[in-house]
């Protein structure tokens, strides 16, 4: 069979155009992310794969692959809401993606007093759901209390605290202008804005997008994806296409 001499060039063009379209979709509309750590349990589990909308807060250089210096500020900017689950680039290196829950807005004062979270001197209400629960903290299984917390804007979500409440008191964190304060829902097993040297306050330009829903989830401890005979155990079918609260 004789091949058209343009066969290879046409296929290369097709691949190139497909790549451009994929980059545009990923940069401007929606991007998939994988959850590698337990810092957002019970909301997000290790092995969750989720979609993040890039347009939710406007665009900055971090909206694009490898953060090219094509924008010196955020454009079409929209303010995130307290309680949003947000992907952002860590201020430490402006490269690593983190996902946490937005707690403090610019000008807010955040503090932990006797294990309780305070926002602008008012305690964030939380009601205990479970006295006994176990979740992961890295490779360790830890005993926790599970709570439902309610923010001033009526946003409700679940958090967990170690039974011995390792993080009990803190200084007052005053969120600077154009910055945000984030916490992990797994409160005693999360590197977040409480740790100023590694995460700290996050500038608005570092926001990547808003986590919207989980499209697939699997537990690799119960089986790898190539082990199809274990899918009934490893794939979390109940989390498929579940909205992130």
70-110: pLDDT as tens digits: 999 999 999 999 999 999 999 999 999 999 999 999 999 99
Active site residue 100: yes
pLDDT at 7 over 90: no
Element spanning 26, H or E: helix 7-28
4 inside domain: no
Does residue 197 belong to any structural domain of this protein? yes
CA-based nearest residue to 90, from 209, 198, 210: 198
> 26: burial class by Cβ within 10 Å (0-12, 13-18, 19+)?
middle
Say which residues have a Cβ less than 8 Å from residue 131's Cβ, sequence separation at least 6.
Answer: 145
What pTM, to 2 d.p., does this model score? 0.92
- The structural domain count of the chain equals 1
Q: Mapping DSSP to helix (H, G, I), strand (E, B) and coil, where does residue 215 land?
A: strand
Which of 237, 227, 179, 175 is closest to 203 using CA atoms? 179
Catalytic residue among 54, 89, 100, 126: 100
40: in domain: yes
In a domain, 135, yes or no: yes
Residue pLDDT, tens place only, 201-240: 999 999 999 999 999 999 988 988 888 899 999 999 999 9
Residue 98 inside a domain? The answer is: yes
What integer pLDDT is reported at residue 1 of this predicted model? 47
Region 177-189: what's the mean pLDDT? 97
Question: Would you say residue 7 lies in a domain?
Answer: no
| 140 domain residue, yes or no | yes
Task: Report the CATH number that the domain containing residue 200 is assigned in CATH.
Answer: 2.10.109.10
- Going edge to edge, which strands form the sheet with 125-137? 125-137, 140-150, 156-162
Q: Is 39 a catalytic residue?
A: yes
- Catalytic residue, chosen from 39, 60, 63, 234, is 39
Q: Residue 123 is part of which domain span? A: 32-243
List, for residues 12-71, the tens digit of each pLDDT value. 888 888 889 988 998 899 999 999 999 999 999 999 999 999 999 999 999 999 999 999
Query: Which DSSP string do the residues of 150-170 spell out, in sequence order?
Result: E-TT--EEEEEEETT-S----
Confidence of residue 2 (pLDDT cuts 50, 70, 90): low
Tell whether 6 is covered by a domain: no
């Amino acid at each position: 069979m004789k091949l058209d001499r343009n066969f290879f060039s046409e296929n290369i063009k097709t691949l190139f155009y497909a790549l451009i379209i994929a980059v545009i979709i990923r940069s401007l509309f929606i991007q998939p992310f994988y959850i590698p750590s337990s810092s957002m349990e019970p909301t997000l589990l290790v092995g969750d794969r989720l979609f993040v909308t890039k347009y939710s807060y406007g665009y900055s250089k971090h909206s694009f692959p490898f953060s090219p210096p094509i924008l010196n500020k955020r454009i079409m900017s929209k303010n995130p809401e307290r309680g949003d689950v947000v992907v952002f680039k860590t201020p430490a290196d402006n490269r690593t993606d983190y996902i946490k829950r937005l707690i403090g807005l610019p000008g807010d004062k955040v503090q932990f007093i006797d294990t309780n979270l305070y926002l602008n001197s008012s305690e964030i209400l939380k009601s205990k759901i479970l006295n006994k629960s176990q979740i992961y903290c890295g490779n360790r299984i830890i005993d926790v209390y599970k709570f439902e917390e309610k923010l001033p804007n009526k946003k409700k979500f679940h958090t967990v605290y170690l039974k011995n409440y390792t993080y009990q008191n803190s200084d007052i964190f005053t969120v600077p202008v154009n910055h945000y304060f984030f916490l992990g829902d797994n409160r005693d097993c999360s590197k977040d804005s409480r740790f100023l040297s590694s995460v700290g306050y996050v500038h608005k330009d570092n926001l990547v997008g808003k986590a919207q829903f989980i499209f697939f989830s699997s537990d690799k401890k119960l089986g790898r994806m190539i082990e199809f005979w274990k899918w009934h155990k490893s794939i979390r079918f109940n989390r498929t296409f579940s909205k992130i609260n």
